[in-house]
Amino acid sequence: MLLTPGPTPVPEFVRAAMATETLHHRTPEFEAIFKNTRELLLEILDMPEALMLASSGTGAMEACIINLANKAITVNSGKFGERFGKICKAMNIPNIEIKNPWDTPVLADAVIELVKNDSDIDAICIQICESAGGLRHPVEEIAKRVKEINPNVMIIADGITAVGVEKIDTTNIDALITGSQKALMLPPGLAMIGLSNKAVEKIEANPKGYYFNLAIELKNQRKNTTAWTAATTLIIGLGAILEKIKADGFDTLYSDTAKRANATREALKAIGLPIYPKTPADAMTTIYSEKANEIRKILKNKYDVNIAGGQDDLNGKIFRINHMGLVAPFEAAWAVNAVEKTLADLGIRTFDGTANKVFMENFF
């Protein structure tokens, strides 16, 4: 059972949709598929414009920085926030980093203070969910307050583990980034960006970059084609998953995910495991444990549950259970059940079925 917070399992109906013959990308047949996928994408992102790029999520992060930032604030509460800063350095774009421990969300006041004191800042780069520790940043509050000071500051929000997890208020967001292999349950290799009208204006006023020149992409994708060869198979898959999510209702996906996340957190707390982040996101449950790697090993080898660990300083100190995508409640219940049994295997706690009980009571 693959329960890592990306990649997530690709459902059978999506694999079947992607198993059709490869279409040439410059054909009316593919353009019709592109158009359908693009319309669904605009709907889930809830933004005026959207782009699909043949790259992993990091490519979209880089594209947004190249096209939208001249001096950025980057919020580093983990690996992915740190990456925004590294991209700025690689692109010679000055950045001011706000660094916090990986369990700590950024304070809106800290961002506002910097924006007030430096009028050169024209972009804020932040994760909605920082996947390194599974924490939720107060992006909406920051975006709203920054726009009150200067509406031209671009809010670049990495929603790779937030789009398809929860309804995101995009009122004050200018670029909403996501990727294929997380909540959208596709193979890796496709990145997507939702854009505000202000972001589109900025991109078109001063085109930048080559492969990631978003002005050229906008011109093409509005005509249902792409600047370079499209990731045809993944775009077909994206259309299939978005059609399914829409048919079930976007809100159903969000509320199911929230229920699974809540029931999992309550179940694991009930067997004595502490939740790592101060503000947990619903994309995943992150548990702090000095025995994290031993727990993961037993879970995988004995109970068939493959979950993620931690990186850098948190290697061996946390484990992360995915809630993104179409995870059935019985799968999530099995995961907490297996964690409880693993604690018994390690002599940490006697097994009494508490995790399963608490999960079921909370979920239903």
Ligand X SMILES: *Cc1c(COP(=O)(O)O)cnc(C)c1O
- Residue ranges binding ligand X (CB under 6 A): 6, 56-58, 80, 127, 131, 158, 160-161, 179, 182
Q: How far is the CB of 149 from ligand X (least distance, A)?
A: 26
Give me the residue whose beta carbon is nearest to ligand X: 57
CA torsion sign, 77 to 324 to 6 to 348?
A: positive
Nearer CB in complex with ligand X: 125/267: 125
Which run of H or of E encompasses 123? strand 123-127
User: Which residue's CB is nearer to ligand X, number 233 or number 356?
Assistant: 233
CB count within 10 Å of CB 279 equals 16
Instruction: Tell me, letter by letter, the H, E, C secondary structure of 135-201.
Output: EECCHHHHHHHHHHHCCCCEEEEECCCCECCECCCCCCCCEEEEECCCCCCCCCCCEEEEECHHHHH
Phi first, then psi: give them for residue 161, nearest 5 degrees. -110, 30
Helix axes 232-248, 28-45, angle to 10 degrees: 50
Closer to ligand X by CB, 80 or 359: give it. Answer: 80
Number of neighbours of residue 175 by Cβ within 10 angstroms: 31
Minimal distance, residue 64 CB to ligand X, in Å? 12
Residue type, 184: L
Least distance from ligand X to the Cβ atom of residue 182, Å: 6
At 176, give phi and psi (nearest 5°).
-115, 110
Cβ 344 to ligand X, closest distance in Å?
Answer: 32
The rounded distance, in Å, linking the Cα atoms of 362 and 266 is 8
Task: State in angstroms the smallest separation of the CB of 220 from ligand X.
Answer: 23
- For residues 135 and 199, which CB has a smaller minimum distance to ligand X in the complex? 135
Contact 273, 319 (CB under 8 A): no
- Toward ligand X, which CB reaches closer, 179 or 237? 179
Whose Cβ is closer to ligand X: residue 66's or residue 358's?
66
Question: Least distance from C-beta 356 to ligand X, angstroms?
Answer: 29
Structural contact between residues 238 and 180, judged by C-beta atoms closer than 8 angstroms: yes
Nearer to ligand X, 14 or 338 (CB): 14
CB of 55 to ligand X, least distance (A): 8
